Amino acid sequence: MKTIINNTIRKAVFALLFVSIVATSCSDFLTKPPLTDFTDNNYWTSEANVRAFSWNFYNMFYGYGRGTYGEFYWQTLGNNSYEMKFSEDLLHYTFLGFPSGVYTSNSMWESYYSNIRRANLMITRVSEMESLTEDARNHWLGVGKFFRAMNYFSLLSSWGGVPMPLSYTSPDAAEEIYLPRSDRKTVADQIIKDLNEAATSMKASDGADAINKYSAYALLARVALFEGTFRKYHSLGDYNTYLQQAVTAAEALISSGKFSLADNYKSKWISDDLAGNPEMILYKRYEPNIMCHYLQAHTHCSAPEICGPTKYTVESFVCSDGLPISQSPLYMGDKGIANVKANRDIRLVDMIFDEIGYYGQPIYDILVSSTGYVSSFYDNPAVDKKHPDVTTENRNHTDAPIYTISEIYLILAEAKAELGTLTQTDLDNTINKLRERAGVAKLELSGTDGAMASGVEINDPKRTSSLESATKGGIVSPILWEIRRERRAELLGWVYLRHLDIDRWAKGEYMDTELNPDVMLGAWMEKAPAGYEKNLNADNYINTHSQYSRKFEDKYYLDPIPQDEIILYKDKGIDLTQNAGW
């Protein structure tokens, strides 16, 4: 992907040289072009210039971050002023609570609108260029709409309905830049419109590292599933149209025949080169000494800052017979890692090392985690755990998946289950392909919404627990429960996606420590390391943050509008309303 890796200085120069052509976000510093070779008046003369302009957008794909800056999937992002994106799957090394008040500012809000303004400029200028062929114009308009939609989706998922400028205007035209909040449905519909148009007009390939029509279909499927289920479980109505759009986009990708599952589930997390991985629809490429990250260094060290999978997460994985641990005769209990991993889903087996590594008691002399379950998620077996390319910050260069066919399989199965149109053939073509790779017995549809595996009707007591009853999303059918379980297992490396799942299913109570105490617990230990005895509870489970708790409230489904933005808009004569509860 061209500027994801930024592997030539020329690309960086173009981006820096031209950045001031694009007026920035809704902050009050809309700059004028500097005295350089390029201005908005003379830049839009060739397809090569349009391509160079598009490179700047690729930095929006965070992947595993860059250098020692780590907005990556496995590490939670926390609840700071950027985004509050954490889930119940991992226990952060410092306790994460929900924000107590409205942020003064939020740099991500500003960044998204800056990108949207760039996209609007690109769409406007490309449509005016006489030097482009019709095919080239359509492709680049699609690229602009893709990135505009991507940024509006980030805004929608964080803040709901937001101001929605759709054209590029003079920096002096405040009345066309500072707009009231559009309602949530209007924003969602515009995102889907942009992505449909992008998927229709973009090339099937614009080079191995560039977005294309399949990237647009992948994002469209993700957005449509998110909004359809969010509307359903938050009682907003009118959700079937979005779910059907998710089905259509997912089927377009699957029927293209261009993507298939890799033989090894873990390969997408541990590879130095994902170019040959058939599962990749889009990935972020890293190169030694050019573009590196520090995810492996962060998860493969003895510093007291490593997240670990929670007890709640580990217990969600089924046994190899496809049954939950409460029903499977193959389950060996959790007294020791060997028992935890015995007869289980290969994705769990591959996720954690074979020993408990807790503070004061590391394994391989360097590996620990906040829960004692030490992640082997990014453990590339081809590289020694103590090799500097693994243990040194800004030297890690494993590639990061962005869109994969495995996610598309999950989207299709879930959307059809929500629509009530799921068949056994659908399961066999999606979920059961993933299960076969994970060494798990196939999932079978029983009646209209029941589920079976290994000839046994699945009735996981956790599905109807008091925790599920307490959630806004309520109790779901057995088949939907198992599809959600599959999604959790397959996409565990994406904390960001898990957070979106919790939001759209209205399951925020999963992160409530009173209603779901297992989100605070880790592995069972017979004896704690010296100095850490207080971190074992009465049942000998690790509880690193025993002195803390958090209570979920409905307002946390949306972030607060930054106070500085409310003041800025007010100065422009616009009442930027705050989200409920803040």
Residue 41 is predicted with a pLDDT of: 76
Note whether 300 and 365 are within 8 A (CB).
Answer: no
What are the beta bridge partners of residue 78?
85
Helix (H) or strand (E) holding 452: strand 450-453
DSSP 529: P
Give the tokens for residue 489. 């297992």
Q: Which parts of the chain sit beneath pLDDT 70? A: 1-38, 67-84, 301-305, 382, 385, 391
Alpha-carbon gap, residue 309 to 544, rounded angstroms: 12
Alpha-carbon gap, residue 565 to 112, rounded angstroms: 13
**In a domain? residue 516:** yes
Q: Which residues contact 36 (CB under 8 A, 6 or more apart)?
A: 17, 20
Give the tokens for residue 233. 């479980």
**In a domain? residue 115:** no
Alpha-carbon gap, residue 419 to 414, rounded angstroms: 9
Q: What is the pTM of this model?
A: 0.92
Long-range contacts of 385-388 (CB under 8 A, 24+ apart): 385/300
**In a domain? residue 328:** yes
Task: Characterize the bridge pairing of strands 78-79 and 90-91.
Answer: unpaired
Overall domain count for the chain: 1
Alpha-carbon gap, residue 540 to 543, rounded angstroms: 9
Q: Mutual orientation of helices 213-233 and 240-255 as an angle, nearest 10°?
A: 150
563 φ/ψ angles, rounded to the nearest 5 degrees: -60, -40
Alpha-carbon gap, residue 302 to 304, rounded angstroms: 6
Alpha-carbon gap, residue 236 to 558, rounded angstroms: 15
Give the tokens for residue 523. 């592995």
**In a domain? residue 316:** yes
Q: Helix (H, G, I), strand (E, B), or coil: what is residue 483?
A: helix
Alpha-carbon gap, residue 331 to 325, rounded angstroms: 6
Residue 70 is predicted with a pLDDT of: 52
Domain that holds residue 466: 74-105+301-377+443-551
CA-CA distances (angstroms) from residue 330 to 31, 325, 349, 487? 65, 8, 15, 22
Note whether 581 and 553 are within 8 A (CB).
Answer: yes
Residue 303 is predicted with a pLDDT of: 61
CA angle 447, 450, 455 (to 5 degrees): 90
Alpha-carbon gap, residue 347 to 319, rounded angstroms: 11
Task: Characterize the bridge pairing of strands 78-79 and 84-85.
Answer: antiparallel
**In a domain? residue 86:** yes
Q: Helix (H, G, I), strand (E, B), or coil: what is residue 351?
A: coil
**In a domain? residue 33:** no
**In a domain? residue 333:** yes
Q: Which residues contact 80 (CB under 8 A, 6 or more apart)?
A: none
Residue 76 is predicted with a pLDDT of: 44
**In a domain? residue 9:** no
Residue 68 is predicted with a pLDDT of: 60
105 φ/ψ angles, rounded to the nearest 5 degrees: -145, 170
Alpha-carbon gap, residue 92 to 544, rounded angstroms: 10
Nearest to 372 by CA among 345, 353, 385, 391: 353
